[in-house]
Amino acid sequence: MVVHTIEVNNIRLYAFHGCLPEEGEIGGEYSVDVKLITDFTKATETDDLSDTVDYVLINRIVVEEMAVRSKLIEEVGQRIVNRIKKEATGIKTLVVKIIKHTPPINGDVSNVAIIIEETLV
């Protein structure tokens, strides 16, 4: 069995998510990783972008959804998952990870993250 994986990693963004009012005004640094399990056998034969998942589409969805303010990155992550499922085809498993760098919490924490993994087939 062959497993085909496409990853779009470390999409770096500045966004305004968080429960604190200051987070909506000041913002913070985020990074997003997207992992897709798919079958790009046809693309290996045709060398045609339409036979695989377009990385540009994935990046665009992440950038657009991260630009919409939310209190919780959990909600943003689910929006990203929902759009990818709607706009991309041939995905068997989808994993989205959002990392919030230097979160405003008491303690020495470099980041917090959420991961959503969905099997679509």
Which pLDDT tens digit goes with each residue over 94-105? 999 999 998 988
Q: Which pLDDT score is estimated for 1? A: 75
Q: How far apart are the first and last CA of the chain?
A: 16
Domain 4-119 has CATH 3.60.10.10: no
Which of 85, 86, 97, 100 is the catalytic position?
100
35 flagged as catalytic: no
Query: Which parts of the chain have pLDDT scores under 50?
Result: none
33: Cβ contacts below 8 Å, ≥ 6 apart: 7, 8, 9, 10, 11, 95, 96, 97, 99
Chain centre to alpha carbon of residue 112: 15
